[in-house]
Amino acid sequence: MGCTQRMLIAHPDERYRSALRRWFGRRGHEVVTVDSGVTCVRALRDKTPDVLVLHQGLLWGGADGVLEVMRQDGFSDVSVVMLQGATPQSRPKRRATREIAPNVSPVATPTSGYDVFA
């Protein structure tokens, strides 16, 4: 199996957080999920992750705010994967089940509904 990573997933949609938590958890990673910029910063400071999966549309401080705090506080050892798209506000009401719980790879898949910046 590879080495276990401590992961922090910051996404505004509970369904995506749950899908990512399950997928990475099944592969042996320690996963913490948060739903806002404020809770993301708290989690970063509480227990620094190896990887932060950060959604661009994060509420309460947003991804830009989280990245700025990381820069100021010296979190340069944390790998960041930025996700863009598919928020509760932008998602159509009816969406295929596979898009709500995507088959996620360690970065992303073409069908996951995201543009990935790593």
pLDDT digits (tens, 9 = 90+) for 25-53: 999 999 999 999 999 999 999 999 999 99
Task: Identify the structural domains of the chain with CATH numbers, from first to last.
Answer: 6-117 (3.40.50.2300)
Say if pTM beats, i.e. exceeds, 0.75.
no
What share of the chain has pLDDT > 90, as a percent? Answer: 43
- Nearest to residue 37, comparing CAs of 64, 76, 2? 64
Amino acid symbol at 44 = L
- The CA-atom distances, in angstroms, between 27 and each of 24, 52, 94, 105 are 5, 16, 30, 11
Identify the H or E element spanning 80.
strand 79-84
pLDDT digits (tens, 9 = 90+) for 70-82: 988 888 889 898 8
Amino acid symbol at 60 = W
For residue 18, what pLDDT is reported? 93
